């Protein structure tokens, strides 16, 4: 399918929902990273056991199955909330003290209100750049795509 609205050169996101308004957008994998678990205060116990019985907010539905699999492999039964399509909603629920939020490693440092309580490399986030064309013409977009880390291509 052709793009109906071609008023963009680059969209970045963790799943295809970012490009929904632009049918036919071409995804390019930029990189992968693990998951950080953040909370207002560090709960008692060692990670990952401290997740046992806690509300866990997932900021992106695209990693839900990986997180479920990882929790089962750790024999952890967390109270699961429905994943939100907006990471800010999940983050604000954690800031309000309602539970723990799972975010990509790369986003963990930007959350000054929350503390990293653990990390799981087994739960991978994929970050994509969406473009209009398979081989973008814009030089800056090409530069970004050509310099993505080699392990993610």
List pLDDT tens digits, range 20-77: 667 778 888 888 889 999 999 888 899 999 999 999 998 777 788 889 999 999 999 9
CA dihedral 17, 140, 2, 18 (to 10 degrees): 10
* pTM, full prediction: 0.76
Helix (H), strand (E) at residue 31: strand 26-39
Is residue 153 scored above 90 in pLDDT? no
List pLDDT tens digits, range 87-115: 888 889 999 999 999 988 888 888 889 99
List pLDDT tens digits, range 79-88: 876 677 678 8
């Amino acid at each position: 399918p052709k793009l109906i609205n071609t008023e963009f050169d680059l969209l970045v996101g963790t799943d295809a929902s970012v490009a929904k308004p632009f049918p036919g957008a071409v995804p390019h994998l930029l990189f992968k990273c693990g998951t950080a678990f953040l909370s207002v205060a560090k709960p008692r116990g060692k990670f990952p056991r401290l997740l046992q019985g806690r509300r866990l907010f997932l900021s992106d539905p695209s990693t839900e199955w990986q997180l479920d699999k990882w929790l089962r492999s750790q024999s952890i039964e967390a109270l699961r909330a429905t994943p939100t399509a907006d990471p800010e909603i999940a983050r604000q629920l954690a800031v309000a003290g309602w539970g723990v939020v799972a975010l990509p490693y790369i986003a963990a440092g930007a959350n000054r209100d929350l503390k990293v309580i653990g990390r799981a490399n087994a739960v991978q986030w994929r970050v994509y750049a969406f473009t209009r064309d398979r081989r973008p013409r814009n030089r800056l977009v090409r530069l970004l795509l050509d310099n993505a880390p080699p392990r993610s291509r």
